[in-house]
Structure 1
Amino acid sequence: MLKEKFSPVFLKKNLIPAAKWHPWPTASERQRWNSLSENIRKILVTNGIGALKKTWPHLPASLFLEFAQNGNRSNFQDQLFIRRQILSDLVYAECIESKGRFLNAIVDAAWSTCEESTWSLPAHINMQKKGVGLPDVTEPIVDLYAGETAAQMAWLVYLLNDQLNKISPLITERIRCEIRQRILIPCFERNDFWWMGFQHKRVNNWNPWINSNWLACILLIEDNEQRRIESIYKALRSIDVFVESYSPDGGCDEGPAYWTRAPASLFDCLELLYWATKGKLNVYDEPLIKEMGRYIYRVHLGNNWFVNFADAPARFAPPAGLIYRYGKRIKDNFMQKLALFFLRNKTIADKNNFSGNPTRTLPNIFLWDKIPDVDVFAPLPSNVWLSNLQVVVKRCKTGSVKGLTLAAKGGHNAENHNHNDVGNFIIFVDGKPLIVDVGVEIYTRKTFSSERYSIWTMQSQYHNLPTINGIMQSAGINFRAKNVNYSCDRNEMCFSMDIAESYPAEAGLRKWVRNFVFRENNIIITDSYEMKSVPKDLFWSFITPCKTKIQNNRIRFISTLLPERVYSGKGYLYFDHKKVKTHIEKIPVIDKRLLSIWGKCLHRLILRPTNLLPTDSFAFRIEEH
């Protein structure tokens, strides 16, 4: 898409020269900074004052080594991210106030950042030839956070160049040198970083995320115009690999949280290129670019809840400012409405839009006062069918969380950030969770290793799926849904698939057809199977955050208080008690990420046939009353 339309000749003709590229006012140009609303100014200065009071974290080699030694990646990352946040908050505060009180702390933070042996994370340093452990300073590795740090430092030089040079020109010289050595040179000279897509065509959010930061560094730091053009064109070729990996429905198989760093980072790339060519490099009319943006409101379940298939939290606050700007570019009112819905929550708006990477934050700051302050409802389309991703979302009424909402998936078990979850589903009642996808725990060394599927949240038995003869679903492109069918009319939505091939041969399946029927008053899940012989064991798992009570032919879901004063839904699961016996298992939650969403426990409903047959059919009906 990009490399064909925007050749080096096009770039040479239309790219604004480095010395003249001026997308946002620097801290020395006071008019626009001083004209910002008092609310924004107060937020940014308050953040900066808070940063002054924080202790700059120590990052010893022993902390970096923890990932190699015991698999813990959080201890180092958490301290590193505090460093980056401190610097970010100090810079924006100085740009607002322009009195110099944050400058010494900025110099200390920036110089300390330059002194770091690597800007990459311990979990990613295995990309170097010497493997996991301490970083080899002779081989700079470009990962997500090397890119993030480089872009942050590049924008620092852009915004505060005059102020830093008055203290010492060596500060900006050092920063420019580090960005060249750590990002510009390796990205220009190497083709073997997997995320580039030149040698490995399977890419994910790493591609646009790193490319967006590489582009920022090229535009802000690279002063050789020919090399600038060649670098940008190389980035365009890489970005194309990511765009071409998407199907026409625009579905993000990494889930809604990673959408914020997959299509949303693609938007960052496109915005940088749009700004750098005065709008000449513009693909916002391309259908695929539009569909990739629309995914985020299509998987919204209401409030902060999202359809969290893959490595995604069930509840999070998306980057509303970016969503609004993306929606404006593609002229999509639903995207803009979703953004405005989240912007009503000022805590979310302040946290997500006025800190972090300047590529996103600067346009938010300077366009914020132009975003209408209106009370809107989230789009919540009544019917979503992502035919390529094989994900359906169905609710009773457009624009309302009232009543039942179903999300279900087919797909395969080699998706990006995959869980073994073909045929999985989520049910909400009145915008509250009833039957859920647990999500993902804090990442460790196991998460992206051969041990991934030893983690319980990745396994099909902890999704809303059957376990057959003690066998769970397997990982791999061949473990997938077959014969996927979808239909929808005014009265009902039907979604069916055969999930037999998502299980290995040892499960003994010939066929397992899962059929969802959504009507206004109920959702019916029917599983019809045919096995090679009488199964030795068979059970269904349904995961819920609700307290539950078994009542003869049904299970009652009781509304339960969750963290942040949020409640689960309430309703009933009906079944034929003559054919099914039930057991409720308590799942203690100890992971911090899951604790913040579900609290101290979840419940797994385990339903077993009273009589095992080689061929049978079971129906489960969910109602809100």
Structure 2
Amino acid sequence: NWNPWINSNWLTVALLKEKDETKRLQAVGKIMKSLDVFIDSYPRDGGCDEGPGYWNRAGASLFDCLELLYRATDGEITIYNEPLIGEIGRYIYRAHVADEYFINFADASAKVTLESDLAYRYGKRIGDENLSGFGAYFAARQQQQGRTFWGSIARQLPAIFNFAELTTAESKQPLLRDVWMEGNQVMAARSKQGSTEGLYLAAQGGHNAESHNHNDVGNFIVYLNGLPMIIDVGVETYTRKTFSAQRYEIWTMQSTYHNLPTINAIMQQEGREFAAKDVRYTMDDDFAQLQLDIAEAYPPAAKINKWTRTLRFNRDGEIIISDEFDLKRKTKDIELTLMTGCKVTANKPGKIRLDYIDKNSDEPPASLHVFFDAEKLTPKFETIPINDNHLKAVWGDKITRLLLQANS
């Protein structure tokens, strides 16, 4: 995101302040070449491996640049008709779960503050009513929260002039039933199109050298009625350590604090070679499914020949996670992690209940039942206090790490 973000500021200054026409043309030409490098790095489906929180300064900053070029040349310089430009814009609603919640693999937060005016104008430019309506939806939410204009002045000024149109435009959450972004190997499925009711599953393959990477190949999240039940914790407030050689000493970066197996006490490892293999996505009106081999996301010390994870979303109201594996030596040192911000209750063998906590209600607005084979797995619970303000704003004071430990 540094590429379009920096270029958007540089382009603004070059257009407004550079009086020498030759120097101005040279600057604009260099900026356009630099933006081409950014655009060419994207997969054809427009997926952003930095996550939806960074879209505000990745795809959205690209839009800032394209708008400046479009307006400065009276529409002579425009690439809005290029398919990839449209897909980069559409990514943000493809990654949307419900209301303020988004798919938050890697360093993304589960709650995202969308640049609503910018999303609206992006949608208008590419002729996508889902995107423009999505921007209008968030604008209405933000007005209710007393937030109207924020961000850089280069964004506030267009937002002021567009305010009357934005606040009277038709708003909507697209809430796509199915999403598959092959470039980053991210899938999502919900019970029905256009509704937050029922279950929602998002899962990923990919590799462990993505932008703002976590070691999380094969990770997944589950929502019920638009509320987070099985979660990706996200990332704490950035520190020097976050972008150092010690990054993966931070617990939120480690696979054992994602919804993944830990084998022989060995976690996944960072690096491009630690990746999913044999990734297969299938979908129809009855189900959506992602199947992948995550064995190579672990170092050789884990002693894994093959680990096939299948994540199946049945639209009749269940999600099935199955792991089939072949190890190089027998072991019962296997743990399956599930992270949750819910209240956890385990009163019966093979069954755990997750209740979403609503401080304003005595009854949980969503309850999820997790079933497992009690003869093969024993549950263990760890409470993780949240002291970081960034995470606390999303999950509150604590979360729970549920471990399903192999019996044999």
How far did 1:562 drift? 6.9
The corresponding residue for 1:481 is: 276
Q: Does 1:394 align with 2:211?
A: no
Q: 2:377 aligns with which of 573, 580, 588?
A: 580
Distance 2:136 2:12 in 1: 27
AA matched with 1:326: Y
Partner of 1:212: 8
- Given the alignment of the two structures, is residue 336 of structure 1 paired with residue 126 of structure 2, yes or no? no
Matches of 1:256 and 1:316, distance apart in 2: 7
Report the equivalent of 2:52. Answer: 256
Asked whether the 8 Å contact 1:562–1:568 carries over to 2, the reply is no
8 Å CA contact 1:320–1:349 kept in 2: the answer is no
Question: Quick check: 2:340–2:399 contact (8 Å CA) kept in 1?
Answer: yes
Give the counterpart letter for 2:154 in structure 1. Answer: T
Q: Distance in 2 between matches of 1:349 and 1:343?
A: 10
Mapped partners of 2:234, 2:178: distance in 1: 23
Partner of 2:96: 300
**2:150 is the counterpart of 1:355:** yes
Change (3 A) 1:483 1:518: same
Q: How does 1:86-125 map to 2 (within 5 A)?
A: none
Question: SS where residue 402 of structure 1 aligns?
Answer: coil
Pairing partner for 1:287 from 62, 70, 83: 83
Per the normalisation by structure 1, the TM-score is 0.63
How far is 1:355 from its partner? 2.6
SS across alignment from 1:606:
strand
Whole-Å separation in 2 of the counterparts to 1:562 and 1:265:
37
Residue 178 of structure 2 is matched in structure 1 by 383
Where 1:311 maps in the other structure, the secondary structure is: coil
- The letter of the residue matching 2:126 is I
Counterpart check, 1:315 vs 2:123 = no
Instruction: Identify the residue that residue 407 of structure 1 maps to in structure 2.
Output: 202
Cα distance in 2 between the residues matched to 1:536 and 1:582: 14
CA contact (8 A) 1:562 1:598 kept: no
Q: 8 Å contact 1:300–1:307 — kept in the other structure?
A: yes
* Aligned partner letter, 1:250: G
Q: How does 1:231-270 map to 2 (within 5 A)?
A: 231-270=27-66
Query: Superposed, which structure 2 residues align to 1:148-547 within 5 Å?
Result: 205-347=1-143, 351=147, 353-371=148-166, 373=168, 376-520=171-315, 521-535=317-331, 537-547=333-343
Query: Is the CA contact 2:227–2:356 (under 8 Å) kept in the aligned structure 1?
Result: no
1:608-623 pair list within 5 angstroms: 608-611=405-408
Any conservation in 1 of the 2:108–2:235 contact (CA below 8 Å)? yes
Amino acid aligned to 1:240: D
What SS does the aligned partner of 1:515 have?
A: strand
SS in structure 2 opposite 1:371? helix
Q: Which has the higher contact order (CA 8 A, sep 6+)?
A: 2
Q: CA deviation at 1:371?
A: 2.3
Matched, 1:561 2:358: yes
1:250 is paired with a residue whose SS is coil
Note closer, same or farther for the CA distance 1:350–1:288 as it changes in structure 2 (3 Å cut). Answer: farther
Give the C-alpha shift of residue 239 in structure 1: 0.9
Look up the SS of the partner of 1:359 in the other structure: helix
CA-to-partner distance for each residue in 1:360-416, whole Å, 9 max, x for gaps? 111110011122525643001100000111000100111100000000000000000
Deviations 1:138-166 (A, max 9, x none): xxxxxxxxxxxxxxxxxxxxxxxxxxxxx
Aligned-pair Cα RMSD in Å: 1.6
Q: Which has the higher helix share?
A: 1
- Partner Cα distance (1:507, 1:493) in 2: 30
Measure, in 2, the Cα distance between the counterparts of 1:516 and 1:272.
Answer: 43
Q: CA deviation at 1:358?
A: 2.0
State percent identity of aligned pairs: 48
TM-score normalised by structure 2 residue count: 0.96
CA drift of 1:347 comes to: 3.6
1:597 aligns with 394
Deviations along 1:541-565, one digit per CA (max 9) or x if unpaired, are: 10000010112211000121379xx
| Secondary structure class of the residue paired with 1:587 | strand
Letter in 2 for 1:592: N
Q: Is the 8 A contact 2:133 2:169 kept in 1?
A: no
- 1:413–1:420 Cα contact (<8 Å) kept: yes
Cα distance in 1 between the residues matched to 2:389 and 2:159:
30
Q: SS in structure 2 opposite 1:446?
A: helix
What SS does the corresponding residue of 2:77 show, helix, strand or coil?
Answer: coil
> Structure 1 residues 346 and 443, CA, compared in 2 at 3 Å: closer, same or farther?
closer
- Residue 69 of structure 1 aligns with which residue? none
User: 1: distance between equivalents of 2:236 and 2:359?
Assistant: 17
SS of the residue 2:242 aligns to = coil
CA contact (8 A) 2:8 2:61 kept: yes
**CA-to-partner distance for each residue in 1:413-455, whole Å, 9 max, x for gaps?**
0000000000000100000000000011000000011010000
What CA deviation, in whole Å up to 9, does each residue of 1:573-613 have, x standing for no partner?
Answer: 001111110011101100000011101100000001111xx
The residue type paired with residue 507 of structure 1 is A
Deviations 1:237-276 (A, max 9, x none): 1111110100101000000000110010000010111111
Q: Which sections of structure 2, spanning at least 5 residues, go unmatched?
A: none
Conserved 8 A contact 2:48-2:55:
yes
Q: Distance in 1 between matches of 2:201 and 2:61?
A: 28
Cα distance, 1:536 vs. partner?
5.2
Structure 1 residues 393 and 597 mapped into 2: Cα distance closer, same or farther (>3 Å)? same
Residues 348/513 of structure 1: CA separation in 2 closer, same or farther (3 Å cut): farther
Instruction: Spell out, residue by residue over 1:193-223, the C-alpha distance to the aligned partner (whole angstroms, 9 max, x if none).
Output: xxxxxxxxxxxx0000000000001011111
For 1:391, the aligned partner's letter is V
For 1:337 and 1:411, locate their aligned partners in 2 and report how far apart those are by CA, in whole Å.
Answer: 30
Match of 1:486, SS state, is: strand
Equivalent residues of 1:500, 1:512 under 8 A apart: yes
Other-structure match for 1:154: none
Over 3 Å counting, the alpha-carbon distance change for 1:568 and 1:214 in structure 2 is farther
Unaligned runs of 5+ in 1: 1-204, 612-625
Kindly tell me: are residues 307 and 602 of structure 1, through their superposed partners in 2, closer, same or farther at Cα, counting changes over 3 Å? Answer: same
CA offset at residue 341 of structure 1?
A: 1.5
The CA deviation at 1:309 is 0.7
CA–CA distance in structure 2, aligned partners of residues 607 and 530 of structure 1: 19
Q: Contact 1:401 / 1:430 at 8 angstroms: preserved in 2?
A: yes
Q: Kindly indicate which of the two structures has a greater share of residues assigned to strand.
A: 2
Q: Supply the AA of the counterpart residue of 1:541.
A: T
Structure 2: how far apart are the matches of 1:254 and 1:243? 14
